[in-house]
Structure 1
Amino acid sequence: MNRNDVAPEIARSWLLVNAAKPELFDEASASRADQIVLDVEDAVDPLLKAGARRDVASWLSQPGNEAWVRINDRSTEFWSDDVDVLKGLAGLRGVMLAKAEGAAHVTETFDRLGGATPVLALIESALGIEEAVAIARARGCFRLAFGSGDYRRDTGASADELAMAYPRSRLVVASRIGGLPGPIDGPTVGSAHRQLREQSEVTVSLGLTGKLCLHLEQLSVVNEVISPTSSDVAWARDFLADFEFRGGVVRDGSDLPRLGRARKIETLARAFNVEPA
């Protein structure tokens, strides 16, 4: 199992691992990734998908091995084989459904997997963004993620923060309406820490609570930026202590929002082992 083993509801870093390279699976599992995703979709040539699928199934069948799997989208010829091979595997934490564009894509995947395996919907197109609320409300949908690269190819949008603000915000709003955890942002290409840190800070500012990662070197930066800061934790614990000291009395209209924020920070701090400053 991965070292941090953070619950997928609050997982910050989601490491994509090429399923055609099974020699990488153990290293990824032992990494700082909150969750790992074995990728049998875009990372794998069509001629190699059957072999990659078998390698994933073999690895997930071994005791102690757990991961999510990014499967091919519902419209492809590969989807059916993906779900049939993965169904019932002990180590399968859930699937990341590529190019989700409607609620039916999620529900059909969920049902085909037996009705108990969570489906993380990867939204990668203009239609997917338009249908985001319906997707978030679909039976079996666990969380939303943003396939930013394919979205740009589909729409012609640039990677500029302003151009990407609308689809990201749309996923944040859809997740809230659907009662889901915060969405997962698309990856940063490259491992330059400054660029990765800046883009991760934008992720947090827009309300997304996780990020796809392409390299092991990205994990520590993503985990740090998406976690509460030490000063946040200090403020939260001071506020909660004061609130308890005064018997939980609400003094004004700002107390309840601050209480909610403090409790959220405290929960995440415990999960991520962040100590106050």
Structure 2
Amino acid sequence: MPDHAGTATRPVDATVARSWLLVNGMRAENFDTALTSAADQIVLDLEDALDTRDKPGARLDVAAWLETRSAWVRINDRTTPFWADDVDHLANLPGLRGVMLAKAEAAEQVTETFNRLGGRTPVLALVESAVGVEAAPAIAQARGTFRLAFGSGDYRRDTGAQADDLAMAYPRSRLVVASRIGHLPGPIDGPTVGDDHTILRERTTAASTMGMTGKLCLDTGQPAVINEMLSPTASDIAWARDFLTEFDARGRTIRDGSDRPRLAHVQKITELAAALGIGTE
């Protein structure tokens, strides 16, 4: 097991949030429970988790809860008749941190959502299809796009791909590259179904290796594992400190071509550790 330097003890900014817990919007009794979980961010779900006939009632429950507490909300995709009502009911709610736009396939869908919400609410674009993956660079650069996420289950249904890491390598890489092009934080990987934490660790590690920095999750037992796997380890932080100490001792002089990549890696480790509030003792 990696020697990760613990987890944050305060709310984690959405730009570096690792675990994103999806909560069925019909189950209002679980909203408060989700807040007490280890998840960096929670997402109340008005889309895939609900039957069509349940969406209006769930929307009202979510809106009422957001009057006094805060969360993200996954809304229905732009091509459905539910999108407009979702956006209109959520706009200006004090607890709305942002929306996750389901099945994003075009930059215009993100910008329309952003504008209709008043031009202030961040939109997390959930890319879930072959069309969305190919449009990812444009989506990442759209006005209002805050971060990209991978809807791996729907992507597999759309393409016939399997869940193994090789099959998922292309869409993951595409979202990572698109995020870099759009100057966005690293993208959020799709969820791992099941309660096997060994598999969850393996899938999280694979996503991290590709450059993804967050992961969707489906139950309250997963966030702690995801947070551990996506945090700098104690040895990472120690290495970064040692490198900076040695670099300062030689007058911050670049010796060879390996120093600049190492400095970039050190900066990434130290900035993420600071943002997560870990390794500061």
TM-score if structure 2 supplies the norm length?
Answer: 0.95
Structure 2 distance, partners of 1:37, 1:232, is: 30
SS in 1 for 2:222: helix
**Higher RCO (Cα < 8 Å, 6 or more apart):** 2
Q: Equivalent residue for 1:31?
A: 37
Structure 2 distance, partners of 1:23, 1:240, is: 49
Amino acid at match of 2:135: E
Q: Give 1:276 shift.
A: 8.5
Long gaps (5+) in structure 1: none
Which of the residues 54, 78, 94 maps onto 2:82? 78
Structure 1 distance, partners of 2:63, 2:186, is: 29
State how 1:109-124 maps to structure 2 within 5 Å. Answer: 109-124=113-128
Which of the residues 226, 238, 241 maps onto 2:242? 238
State how 1:75-224 maps to structure 2 within 5 Å. Answer: 75-224=79-228
Q: Give 1:245 shift.
A: 2.8
Q: Equivalent residue for 1:21?
A: 27
User: 1:72-115 CA deviation, whole Å, 9 max, x = no partner?
Assistant: 00000000000000001111110000000000100000000001
TM-score if structure 1 supplies the norm length?
Answer: 0.96
Q: Give 1:217 shift.
A: 0.5
SS in 2 for 1:217: coil
Identity, in percent, stands at: 65
User: 1:39-95 CA deviation, whole Å, 9 max, x = no partner?
Assistant: 000111111111111111111111xx1110000000000000000000011111100
Q: Give 1:165 shift.
A: 0.5
Q: Give 1:260 shift.
A: 1.3
User: 1:230-256 CA deviation, whole Å, 9 max, x = no partner?
Assistant: 111110111122222333222222112
Asked whether the equivalents of residues 274 and 280 of structure 2 are also in contact (C-alpha less than 8 Å), the reply is no
Is residue 2:53 matched to residue 1:40? Answer: no
Structure 1 distance, partners of 2:263, 2:64, is: 47
Structure 2 distance, partners of 1:201, 1:153, is: 23
CA-atom RMSD in angstroms: 1.5
Q: Give 1:273 shift.
A: 3.7
Structure 1 distance, partners of 2:50, 2:9, is: 26
Structure 1 distance, partners of 2:128, 2:122, is: 19
Is residue 2:265 matched to residue 1:261? Answer: yes
Amino acid at match of 1:35: Q
Q: Equivalent residue for 2:55?
A: 49
SS in 2 for 1:216: coil
Long gaps (5+) in structure 2: 1-7
Structure 1 distance, partners of 2:203, 2:101, is: 24
Asked whether the equivalents of residues 229 and 274 of structure 1 are also in contact (C-alpha less than 8 Å), the reply is no
Aligned residues: 274
Structure 1 distance, partners of 2:174, 2:129, is: 12
Structure 1 distance, partners of 2:167, 2:116, is: 36
Structure 2 distance, partners of 1:216, 1:4, is: 17
Instruction: Give runs of ≥4 in structure 1 deviating > 3 Å.
Output: none
Asked whether the equivalents of residues 3 and 32 of structure 1 are also in contact (C-alpha less than 8 Å), the reply is no
Q: Give 1:228 shift.
A: 1.0
SS in 2 for 1:17: strand
Is residue 2:261 matched to residue 1:247? Answer: no
